[in-house]
Amino acid sequence: MGRLFGTDGARGVANADLTCELAMNIGRAAAMVLGKGGKRHPKILIGKDTRISSDMLESALAAGLCSIGANVVHLGVVPTPAVAYLVKRYGADAGVMISASHNPCEFNGIKIFSGTGYKLPDALEEQIEAIVLDHEEKPQFPTGGEIGSISAAPQALRDYIDHVKSTVPEGALKGLRVALDCANGSSAMTAQTLFTELGAECHMLSDTPNGVNINDNCGSTHMETLMEYVKANHMDAGLAFDGDADRCLAVDERGQLVDGDFLMAICALDLKSQGRLAKSAAVGTIMTNMGFIRFCEENGIKFAATKVGDRYVLEEMLQEGYNFGGEQSGHIIFLDHATTGDGQMTGVQLLTILNRRRAHLSSLATLMARYPQVMVNVTVSREGKLRFYTDAEVNEAIERAKARLGTKGRVVVRPSGTEPLLRVMIEGEDHDEISALAHEVADVVRKRLA
């Protein structure tokens, strides 16, 4: 993980950690790195989510880019996967998304995509970091007609919606009654149009962003309201996105949560049945539920596990020639259609399967059995996060928990890539046992690293 760009871009509290000055300097450095191939005016797309700080950071970032000669194209409020798709469609050299995804409104972030639509390679991120943090290279400021320009792309949302629609048959969702929780984020701009045009009757929740209500007790990190709404209003299903719409979780007709592992099971088996699951493989992470791993074994699907983070899932997919992977959190990548996780595409694919099979989502979700899993998030200091790897007491506590579980479960303790947290996850057959073990380990982490 880099010093500036974590597992999912540069993030922090807007106007405190992620300042206008830092955004401008990232823009300058990005333009310098992207212009090294001899291109005088690299074309950079900028998208943003609905947080109040996004406009401020967008202006600073655009100013930095233009000051080095890059031409900026504003996409407006769009989902993160729209930037990843449009950067290639519009022939841009890079795309930038201003968002902190599922985090509260006071946070924001800057994520950069290359001209291919994939996240910027580590080597280029490191070059940007070296310019911003180490001042390894001084910017050269053009004047006159060499300064970059700013324009807009008014068709951005329409182009993205049409792309997602093109991945399923026309009218694929006809007859379905669906509740959509937009987290007061980017999908508020696209979801109703997308799902309605595919034939669904849409009931919208949390689709009125005001700059500060993004992810506020709504969306894929707060599923309670959607679960209640689906059950009370007899919906066929509910879908919840996060603030930048690269995640999707679902709710079945009974109001029960269907998380990313279940969504992956449903979609992977459907792809395999159609001969469209490359190498009959699915990629997950070390946090993927053991139930999904057993599901893969039972259905002739190879399971590959990576570190936590959709960038690592994608790297494994590209390296091994796989076309499907994702995370329990709802980041799911359909590589035949997208270069990053796309919550709305995941929702469209899921509901298309549901409608084609004339099945209830609760029935489809029985494809796998979920092993009990307990997650305890422990707030730690920056120094504590670094000491995690070397602290003897913490590592002894982890080893004790592993020894007590034996082959009946597993223990995963890892630093968050985006927050000041250590995540203690224990999985096994007995919920009470793993809960006690998780809190024992968390107590040691808290004592040693907070």
Contact (Cβ atoms closer than 8 angstroms) between residue 348 and residue 307: no
Determine the Cα angle at 258 with ends 228 and 440, to 5°. Answer: 95
The answer to whether the Cα torsion of 346, 350, 352, 353 is positive or negative is positive
Bridge partners, residue 413, by sequence: 424
Sheet holding 150-152, edge to edge: 10-13, 107-114, 94-98, 43-48, 71-77, 150-152
Q: What does the H/E/C string look like for 19-84?
A: CHHHHHHHHHHHHHHHHHHCCCCCEEEEEECCCHHHHHHHHHHHHHHHHCCCEEEEEEECCHHHHH
Buried b (16+ CB within 10 A) or exposed e, 16-54: eebbbebbbbbbbbbbbbbbeeeeebbbbbbbbbbbbbb
Bridge partners, residue 152, by sequence: 74
Measured CA to CA, the distance from residue 439 to residue 426 in angstroms comes to: 10
Catalytic (active site) residue 67 = no
Q: Of the listed 53, 54, 101, 220, which one is catalytic?
A: 101
Helix (H, G, I), strand (E, B) or coil at 374: strand
Contact (Cβ atoms closer than 8 angstroms) between residue 435 and residue 374: yes
- Total residue count of the chain as it appears in this document: 450
Q: Are strands 302-306 and 94-98 parallel, antiparallel or unpaired?
A: unpaired
Determine the Cα angle at 95 with ends 89 and 97, to 5°. Answer: 125
How far out from the chain centre does Cα 356 lie? Answer: 27
Q: E strands of 257-416, at which residues?
A: 257-258, 281-285, 302-306, 324-326, 332-334, 373-379, 409-415
CA dihedral 265, 266, 269, 273 (to 10 degrees): -170
Tokens describing residue 197: 């045009």
Backbone angles phi, psi at 96, to 5 degrees: -125, 135
| Catalytic positions, written as ranges | 101
